[in-house]
Amino acid sequence: MTTIKDIARIAGVSVATVSRVINESGYVNTDTRKKVEEAIKLMNYSPNEVARSLYKKKSKLIGLLLPDITNPFFPQLARGVEDRLQEHGYRLIFGNSDENEDKELDYIRTFVQNNVIGVISSTNFPDSDTYLNLNIPIVFLDRTSNESPSVYADGREGGRIAAQEIIARGSKHITILQGPAHIKPAQDRFQGAVEVFEELGMTYHVIQTSSFSYIEAGYWAKILFEQHLETDGVIASNDIVATAVLQEAHRLGKSVPQDVQIIGYDDIPLSSLLSPSLSTIRQPAYDMGREAGGLLIKLIEQDKVDEKIIQLPVSFVERETTRRK
């Protein structure tokens, strides 16, 4: 591998001068600069980031921790983060936590060991020591914690909207699928929906689900209609579960949205391709990722950041699993 010494030798200067050229710092004579640049081009040299990082105690790497990239909501977050950071020359070290605190801790440790300059995390444990003791900027994504920098969409409001819309469209026997208990945003949206029913004094049913996995989604859908066959409106905990409910409704000969209305959550890309296409509460996942990236960059590059907590709007996307008002 070509090193700065090689370049220095070829250009007939010292390593300090080469470094100055690379970093555009300090004084360098125009002719000298030219010689160095030629040597760099000749050898196709690019500086070793590891050496840089060691001295500066800062790399160009950022740690990204997501629960599970296999859940189609998260790739969009990841993509948003990456696109934003890439524009500023930062790169990602990536890990899936599986909502598991130990795995998270392990990843965070290796992030730190690799001198990452910041972390973006969708964690269920934002208040753990791991994060409190972290002395690099951290942004919570799709999660919040007190005054910590975070980017998220208003889950409670999303839940409220889902309930309001499905009620306004005439469902009387509504079942809410409550997402996994340990996942904060899932509980927020559930609470939001429940609130609306309580406020209106309406009854509703709840099916508690314990994971967001594809395999189990079908199971919950079955349970739902087994326990509450009269259900004519379903507020699903996310679009995957909603898709499973849609399938189960078909299987039972119920037509959607005439017999049963369904509202999903997230607006994953496939929602619009289902038949009937899925009405859902949209979270602007890609933008959330971008915002998180942007916020982290600010935290890294600036002393003061005013808006450390960014809440993005959720919205009802009316498609074909709900009736017209």
Partner DNA sequence: TCTCCATGTGTAACCGGTTACATTCGTTAC
Partner DNA sequence: GTAACGAATGTAACCGGTTACACATGGAGA
The site partner of 302 among its own copies, DNA, none (C-beta below 5 to 8 Å per kind) is none
The rounded distance, in Å, linking the Cα atoms of 117 and 295 is 13
255 near its own copies (CB under 8 A): no
Asked if residue 317 lies in contact with residue 284, where contact means CB atoms within 8 angstroms, the answer is no
Cα 20 to Cα 48: distance, rounded to the nearest angstrom:
15
CB nearer to its own copies: give 161 or 217: 217
48 belongs to the binding site for its own copies (CB under 8 A): yes
Q: Parallel, antiparallel, or unpaired for β 315-317 and 280-282?
A: antiparallel
Tokens linked to 284: 């602007």
CB of 219 to DNA, least distance (A): 48
Neighbour order of strands in the sheet with 174-178:
205-208, 174-178, 233-235, 261-266, 280-282, 315-317
Q: Which does 172 bind (CB under 5 to 8 A by kind): DNA, its own copies, none?
A: none
Bridge-based pairing state of the strands 118-121 and 138-141: parallel
User: If binding is defined by CB under 7 A, does position 223 make contact with DNA?
Assistant: no
Distances 145 to 126, 142, 157, 261, 266 between C-alpha atoms, Å: 6, 11, 18, 34, 21
User: CB 218 → its own copies: shortest distance, Å?
Assistant: 7
Our finding on whether 42 is near DNA (CB under 7 A) is no
User: Of 75-83, 187-195, 227-235, 296-304, which part binds its own copies (CB under 8 A)?
Assistant: 75-83
Does the footprint of DNA cover residue 178 (CB under 7 A)?
no
Cα separation of 218 and 213, whole Å?
9
Q: Judged by CB under 7 A, which stretch of 45-53, 135-143, 227-235, 273-281 contacts DNA?
A: 45-53
CA of 216: how far to CAs of 16, 119, 179, 227, in Å? 60, 31, 12, 17
Q: Does 42 bind its own copies (CB under 8 A)?
A: no
Please report where in the chains the tokens 């994060």 appear, as a residue.
131
Cis peptide before 276 (omega within 30 of 0): yes
Closest approach of DNA to the CB of residue 33, in Å: 7
Q: Which window, 7-15, 18-26, 84-92, 308-316, contacts its own copies (CB under 8 A)?
A: 84-92
Residue among 1 and 30 whose Cβ is closer to its own copies: 1
Is 10 among the residues that bind DNA (CB under 7 A)?
no
Closer to DNA by Cβ: residue 16 or 202: 16
Stretch that binds its own copies, among 17-25, 119-127, 168-176, 239-247 (CB under 8 A): 239-247
Stretch touching its own copies by CB under 8 A, among 28-36, 55-63, 171-179, 196-204: 55-63
Binding-site partner at residue 272 among DNA, its own copies, none, CB < 5 to 8 Å by type: its own copies
Residue 274 as a binder of DNA (CB under 7 A): the answer is no
User: In the block, which residue shows the tokens 């916020």?
Assistant: 295
CA angle 283, 143, 314 (to 5 degrees): 20
Which residue lies nearer to its own copies by CB, 199 or 259?
A: 259
Nearest in space to 233 (alpha carbons), one of 246, 247, 223: 246
Does position 272 bind its own copies by CB under 8 A?
Answer: yes
* Other C-beta atoms lying within 10 Å of the C-beta of residue 318: 16
Residue ranges binding its own copies (CB under 8 A): 1, 46-51, 53-54, 57, 59-61, 64, 68-70, 72, 74-76, 78-79, 82, 86, 91-96, 107, 109-110, 112-115, 214, 217-218, 240, 243-244, 246-247, 250-251, 269-270, 272-277
